[in-house]
Amino acid sequence: MKGKSRAVGIIGTGSYTPPRVLTNFDLEKMVDTSDEWIRTRTGIVERRIAEPDVPTSRLALLSAQQALESAQVEAGQLDLIIVATVTPDMFFPCTASLLQHELGAGYAAGFDMLVGCTGFVYGCAVAREMIGVGRYEHALIIGAETLSKIADWEDRNTCVLFGDAAGAAILGPVEDGRGILTYSLGNDGTNADALKIPAGGSLMPTSEETVAKRLHYLTMNGPEVFKFAVRAMAQSSLEVVERAGLSMSDVDLVIPHQANLRIIDAAAKRLNLPYERFVRNLESYGNTSAASIPLALDEEVRGGRIKSGDHVLLSSFGAGLSWGSMLVRW
């Protein structure tokens, strides 16, 4: 079923990171780890941590306001708000509803997207279709996380990896031939256990026992996710480039999910692309899950490193295990 769809692109970006910095040396005092291990195994040097009384919606709001300003779109012009997050303020209402009110976004439709680190790419794909068919004009897509609230600060396997941040994008109609050219989304639930919060849902409601066993914190099989990540990012990146009728050498910039420098390195090798074409900012922020791609994208846009006509490839993976790549002509 194929109808005529208008071109939809990213017309503004924004981001926010909390001011508090937690370095690898700070972590040495908290768990049995070392700056050397974290740097060499992940590439992370420091990360930002939100204060205990700052919820995800606060980070999301500040990034959204910046994105609206850069797109020169008023909050009242928004038709749709999608918040990609695994750390919503609460199970429900969704974070998008809170933001609709805080931004003064009319009666914009909104929902949260719970696809782990891949959520921002999923959100952009959904909004692209809704705007593409002419149903909506402007959508706000946010990736926002306070992973510090679900990290187990006694587990060195995970707590050293994550940080808090938000990144936002405004999507709207653009001239033909530009914008989001195509995307590839997928899921492989056979490995769903590799990355999860075991308790707190309907399968294992929170109880004194789940809390005592620390099952309300994030757990991860790192090496399993690592292997999947390299494969999924490479495959889905190739897929979108082929679908757009281009080749990898046409890609000017890749914005990969910022989880581990070694994952980015391995993906670059598989795609036979120079390492310099891959954006890396995880040294400063760690893995910020759904916020990682929009945060990196905003830094590149503001740094003037994306030029009109550039082909920008966004590529992510995460809980599910899920993947999502998207090719944009700026």
Check 94, 117, 124, 159 and give the catalytic one: 117
In the complex, what is the shortest distance from the CB of residue 79 to ligand UT7, in angstroms, rounded to a whole number? 30
Q: Provide the minimum distance between the beta carbon of 10 and ligand UT7 in the complex, in angstroms, as a whole number.
A: 22
**What does residue 158 show for φ and ψ, rounded to 5 degrees?**
-120, -40
- Rounded Cα distance between 235 and 244, Å, is 14
Q: Which of 24, 94, 159, 257 is catalytic?
A: 257
Least gap, CB of 287 to ligand UT7 (angstroms): 5
39: alpha, beta or left? (left if phi > 0; alpha if psi -120 to 50): alpha
- Which of 100, 111, 59, 97 minimizes the C-alpha distance to 76? 100
- For residue 277, the tally of other CB atoms under 10 A from its CB is 15
**75 vs 115, which CB is nearer to ligand UT7?**
115
Cβ at position 247, least distance to ligand UT7 in Å: 27
Specify whether 287 is catalytic: yes
Distance, CA of 235 to CA of 240 (rounded, Å): 9
Closest residue by Cα to residue 122 from 78, 179, 83: 83
Identity of residue 80: L
Q: What are the residues binding ligand UT7 (CB under 6 A)?
A: 33, 37-38, 41-42, 117, 156-157, 160, 195, 220, 222-223, 225-226, 229, 259-260, 287, 289, 318
Please report how close the Cβ of residue 216 comes to ligand UT7 at its closest, in angstroms.
18
CA nearest to 98, candidates 86, 116, 110: 110
Interatomic CA distance for residues 198 and 38, integer angstroms: 25
* Choice between 196 and 302, CB closer to ligand UT7: 196
Q: Which is nearer to ligand UT7, 12 or 318 (CB)?
A: 318
The residue nearest ligand UT7 at its CB is 222
Q: Read out DSSP for 113-149?
A: E--GGGHHHHHHHHHHHHHHTTS-S-EEEEEEEEGGG
- Sign of the dihedral through C-alpha 222, 57, 122, 320: positive
Given 159, 260, 287, 311, which residue is catalytic? 287
Return the number of the residue (144 or 160) whose C-beta is nearest ligand UT7. 160
Of 83 and 139, which has the nearer Cβ to ligand UT7? 83
Dist CA 184 CA 280 (whole Å):
22
Cβ–Cβ < 8 Å for 314, 329? no
Give CA–CA dist 255/330, Å, rounded: 13
Which residue do the tokens 């999947």 mark?
A: 228
How many angstroms separate the CA atoms of 75 and 111, rounded? 16
Structure tokens at 266: 């391995």
Query: Would residue 124 show up in a list of annotated catalytic residues for this protein?
Result: no
* Catalytic status, residue 117: yes
Q: Which is nearer to ligand UT7, 77 or 221 (CB)?
A: 221
Main-chain dihedrals φ then ψ at residue 81, nearest 5 degrees: -130, 125
Nearer to ligand UT7, 142 or 233 (CB): 233
Q: How far is the CB of 38 from ligand UT7 (least distance, A)?
A: 6
Instruction: Report the catalytic residues.
Output: 117, 257, 287
